[in-house]
Structure 1
Amino acid sequence: MGRMRDIAVVGGGGGAVCLLDALSQTSGPPTAVTVFEPSDRLWRGRPYQRDADCILVNLPSRAMSVSAGDRGHFDRWLSRGHRRQTAETADADAFNAAAFPPRALFGDYLETVAHHSVVRLRERGWRVRLVRERVVQAAPRAGGATLTTERGARHPADRVVLCMGAGTPHDGFRLHGPEPGFIPDPYPVSKALAGIDAHDTVAVLGTGLTAADVVLSLHAGGHRGPVFLLSRHGVLPAVRQRPIAHTMRHFTPDHFHALSRQGEVGFTDVVQVLRDELASAGQHPAELETEFALLHEDPARRLRRQLDLVDSQSLGLRILQHTLPVAVDVWPLMPHRDRTELLRHHYRAIHSLCCPMPPTTAARLLAMSDSGQLRILGGLHDVSRTHQGFIAVTDSRQVHADTVVNATSVAPHRVPAAAAPLVDSLITASVASVHPHGGLRVARETSQFIVNGRTQECFYALGDVTFGSLFITAAMPVIVKLAQEISREVTRP
């Protein structure tokens, strides 16, 4: 019998859980798996760590299964007594809040899936090992690589999969320092926000999903002072509508691959296929055109309008959101110039409309806005410290704040600071290369690294570090799909 193949998984968050589950469903010979994770958030990662129950998942539970081909996996886990009813989900009848459980509860689910996956693998003769150290270097060797941890330990591997999550928010205004009052990372909110006085004026940098989490947490904690959401554009995530089943007829990977055989798939081609999808469902594109046109309307007015559409029977927005998993296949088929144009002019709108917030979150934000406690402002261009706190300058006004919380979205192309030495070593060794749009170059079909147009047999990546090569990198259905594909590749004879 030959030597067991050894797969190294760098990172032990949600992506690693999806990969372990997928590996446990393969039928190949026994293999060794070594997972490297130094943090205290094993299997949960940064998004799903133990935290306040008011922080909810942003997809309905039926879309959060981490088991490929089993969409009901998470819901069944919840039904076995794991569902928690809290004050934040008490209004379930109004906006289907029960479909959006706390993110910490989803972290419990990830831990359960990881445990069961390891048990299944070991029952089949696999060797599974956990190393609680950070990998800081990887050097290629014949048929594989040698990984070096921060303590100097060396680990040989035949296949290496980077499963590093996103980093922390970027301190774009250089506010971090010895003086108090600036919170550089809001997670976990139960600890990060605990020291804020209930009467403080709080400026939250960002208007995305993380910023919404901060506001919900302040609200749940009884904060009574003014809260400002501030960003350059002042665009909130859209409000998720109640799910309606829809089977895609035109916007499918097979359709786009057929188009690509006739030449490049341009942005106008993608828009036309979307129009065809809408038409086949009896929908007019006017709904989507309206949402794109009203992206910058007054944030409170936009919240109110979209909350009124939660039970709308129109499918336009829902169909647009259904395109996300397919976007993984479409993006590499588009010419570079069109991808650049989309990122420059349409990314913010697509991200807002395709990654919406739960309606209960939107309702709470709107109630705080209506009461005058919450203000949402765009045009932010400077934040600085003063001798009495902070001053934020927008196009319309100056905001004086006691506390500033950095809730800006983590740039999907930014390598987490803790992972930079490892990524730098891969680039120096010429087994990884940087994509012009950010992240590392990977092949869509295999998630293998690409250098000078050639795939690197032993190296793979999953998650935010692949942005640029891929368009959607963090949505759970996409992670599950890619993890299944990677599992087939790394176990291939």
Structure 2
Amino acid sequence: MKNLTIIGGGACGAAAFIELVIEICSLDLQEKLSITLIERRKHFGYGLAFGTRQKSHFLNTQAELMGIYANEPGHFAEWIKIKDGNRNEVKAEGSLSSAYTSRIFYGNYVSEQLENYIQKAREHNVKIKLINDEAVDIDRENENKFTIILKSSETITADYILLAPGTPKTNKFKELRSTKSYIDFPWPSNRIKNRVNKDETVGILGSSLSAVDTVMTLVDNGHTGEIKMFSPFGILPRVQPSENNTFTRKYLTLGNIHKMTRTKMHHPRVKDLFRLYIKDVEAAEGKELDWKKLDRSAGPAKDFLEYDITAAEGGGDHLLNATYSLRYDASDIWGWMSLHQKKLFKKWLGSHWSANRHAMPLHNAKKLLSLFESGQLKVIPKNTNIEFHQEEQEFKIETAKNGVHYVKKLINATGTSSSLKGMDNDLIHALLEKDYLRSYPAGGAVINPRSMQVISGKAGGNMYAVGHLANGFLLDVDAMWFNVRTISRLVSEIIFKVKQDGDFS
């Protein structure tokens, strides 16, 4: 009998476990494959992302896309209807399908589905093992056998490994960790609640979704001091409507991009793609636009936020909806681009793509605006240097545009690093050192994006990775619905390998 061990029991690990149980039972493979699930936290199915109990930590995707089953994206929305008694966990201005729920509510959903399939596995004689521990290293015994070393010093043998470690915190500003006034990661939120006085001036590094959640943690717990968000560009996420207006792309389509590729005999280039995007947006607008005025790094974040709230209340503007309409095609387009063009995309358009593609819920946007209007919140771009002054017990943050700022507490909410070396995870670094993982220059590990198999010098052919580890090859790894699809593909690949020992009947 073969064993597949999933390292990480958050949402991605849970989705993989569920899909494997379904396939093992459906194909009568109980005597061929067993499953081990390792999670370092007490509760399976939540992870950091969906274990937070802060009332303003909401999903950034509507319920209708968040089903844990790859071919049933609406399953979560159906589940919400059954649990409709808990309306304080749901923000819905329209139908429940377009609702945004709290992260913990989604975590409860994933955990419940996982528990259901743990029970089904036992009922159908699938051999499973659940382990509360942390994997810190892996050794490859031979061509197809691995030994997983746990933090407790225990070991596990596996034939297949799935790396699903979630989103590791970043190593950036690691030199500040010895300073008690510095919080290197906003999760779990108790770290902020227990270490920040309510009247202190707080600095937040970053202005993306993680930084917005950090602001929500502070104000939910009665913070009255000034909050300053520092980031390279000072761009906030845009605001997601409850329901986006339909946007039909005529130019930036997979068909047109493929036609351009076969005609010009080169893969799509950033400039070509952006020209097609401009044509789509301007066709919808019915006029040419001044794209320089749309550069969000050039103006006050508050002004853009006011505009975005109004636009979201009307179903979103064409710029937002054109980006939203790309959610199912973006990864394919990204996969067609050369490494050089991927790097150019991140350099030229990365911050604006992220702001439009990963927007914040309208509920949180309105809370941010009220903080701007009261003067409690500021977004400050172009931070250039950070120092901690021991005598004054405060941080000095220099910026190229707005002078020098001082804060008593500093929270790193820049999100995780795209590079493996920048991820603060002992297992990832151990695998890098052994050449079981190879860094991809555009981010994450080198993988086969079709099967999610890790491609390296020494890991062999039976190691797989999902989620943020695949961020360089797959653009949308921050979206749970997208990760569920990749998990379905990799499970199919593993099941195919397992069945090679049989007659495929």
Paired residue for 1:237?
Answer: 237
- 1:196, CA displacement in angstroms? 2.4
> Cα deviations across residues 190-212 of structure 1 (Å, max 9, x unaligned)?
45223422221111221111111
> Cα deviations across residues 178-230 of structure 1 (Å, max 9, x unaligned)?
x5322222222245223422221111221111111121222222222211111
SS at match of 2:304: helix
Q: Which of 291-300 and 334-343 deviates more?
A: 291-300
> Cα deviations across residues 279-303 of structure 1 (Å, max 9, x unaligned)?
8x95669579478533432100000
Q: Among the aligned pairs, what percent are the same residue?
A: 19
Query: Counterparts in 2 of 1:440-455, with a 5 A limit?
Result: 440-451=445-456
Paired residue for 2:362?
Answer: 359
Paired residue for 2:184?
Answer: 184
1:48 aligns with 2:24: no
Query: Counterparts in 2 of 1:53-132, with a 5 A limit?
Result: 53-81=55-83, 84-86=86-88, 93=93, 99-132=99-132
Could you tell me whether the CA contact under 8 Å between 1:325 and 1:477 is conserved in 2?
Answer: no
Paired residue for 1:13?
Answer: 10
Could you tell me which amino acid in structure 2 is paired with residue 14 of structure 1?
A: A
Question: Hey, what's the Cα distance between the residues in 1 that align with 2:359 and 2:257?
Answer: 25
1:166 aligns with 2:167: yes
- 1:250, CA displacement in angstroms? 7.2
Query: Counterparts in 2 of 1:341-420, with a 5 A limit?
Result: 341-386=344-389, 387-390=391-394, 391-395=396-400, 396-414=402-420, 419-420=425-426
Change (3 A) 1:15 1:250: farther
> Cα deviations across residues 242-292 of structure 1 (Å, max 9, x unaligned)?
32356778766677667666542333443455467668x956695794785
SS at match of 2:472: coil
Question: Hey, what's the Cα distance between the residues in 2 that align with 1:236 and 1:403?
Answer: 21
Question: Hey, what's the Cα distance between the residues in 2 that align with 1:99 and 1:486?
Answer: 30
Q: Which of 305-314 and 111-120 deviates more?
A: 305-314
Change (3 A) 1:364 1:291: farther
Could you tell me whether the CA contact under 8 Å between 1:415 and 1:465 is conserved in 2?
Answer: no
Picking from 303, 323, 327, the partner of 2:326 is 323
Paired residue for 2:221?
Answer: 221
Question: Hey, what's the Cα distance between the residues in 2 that align with 1:456 and 1:274?
Answer: 41
Question: Hey, what's the Cα distance between the residues in 2 that align with 1:286 and 1:49?
Answer: 45
Picking from 334, 338, 341, the partner of 1:335 is 338
Number of matched pairs = 484
Could you tell me whether the CA contact under 8 Å between 1:278 and 1:285 is conserved in 2?
Answer: no
Change (3 A) 1:435 1:394: same
Could you tell me whether the CA contact under 8 Å between 2:421 and 2:429 is conserved in 1?
Answer: no
SS at match of 1:447: coil
Could you tell me which amino acid in structure 2 is paired with residue 398 of structure 1?
A: V
- 1:449, CA displacement in angstroms? 1.3
Q: Which has the higher contact order (CA 8 A, sep 6+)?
A: 1
SS at match of 1:451: coil
Paired residue for 1:437?
Answer: 442
Change (3 A) 1:191 1:431: closer
Paired residue for 1:487?
Answer: 491
Question: Hey, what's the Cα distance between the residues in 1 that align with 2:382 and 2:364?
Answer: 24
Could you tell me whether the CA contact under 8 Å between 2:169 and 2:417 is conserved in 1?
Answer: no
> Cα deviations across residues 128-182 of structure 1 (Å, max 9, x unaligned)?
11122222222332334232223333322221110011122444273222x5322
- 1:123, CA displacement in angstroms? 3.3
Paired residue for 2:479?
Answer: 475
1:311 aligns with 2:316: no
Change (3 A) 1:93 1:429: closer
Change (3 A) 1:233 1:284: same
Q: Which of 345-354 and 165-174 deviates more?
A: 165-174
TM, length-normalised to structure 1: 0.88
- 1:9, CA displacement in angstroms? 0.6
Structure 2 residue runs of 5 or longer lacking an equivalent are 500-505
> Cα deviations across residues 77-107 of structure 1 (Å, max 9, x unaligned)?
2222266344x978x5499998221111111
Change (3 A) 1:25 1:428: same
Change (3 A) 1:260 1:457: farther
Could you tell me which amino acid in structure 2 is paired with residue 410 of structure 1?
A: T
Q: Which of 285-294 and 128-137 deviates more?
A: 285-294
SS at match of 2:387: strand
Change (3 A) 1:147 1:170: closer
Could you tell me which amino acid in structure 2 is paired with residue 321 of structure 1?
A: Y
Change (3 A) 1:426 1:190: closer
Could you tell me whether the CA contact under 8 Å between 1:183 and 1:404 is conserved in 2?
Answer: yes
Give the superposed CA RMSD.
3.1
Picking from 450, 457, 464, the partner of 2:461 is 457
Change (3 A) 1:423 1:384: closer
- 1:235, CA displacement in angstroms? 1.1
Change (3 A) 1:182 1:21: same
Question: Hey, what's the Cα distance between the residues in 1 that align with 2:8 and 2:93?
Answer: 39
SS at match of 2:194: coil
Paired residue for 2:502?
Answer: none
Q: Which of 23-32 and 259-268 deviates more?
A: 259-268
Could you tell me whether the CA contact under 8 Å between 1:89 and 1:97 is conserved in 2?
Answer: no
Question: Hey, what's the Cα distance between the residues in 2 that align with 1:463 and 1:63?
Answer: 17
Could you tell me which amino acid in structure 1 is paired with residue 157 of structure 2?
A: P
SS at match of 2:308: helix
Could you tell me which amino acid in structure 1 is paired with residue 399 of structure 2?
A: T
- 1:15, CA displacement in angstroms? 0.8
SS at match of 2:237: coil
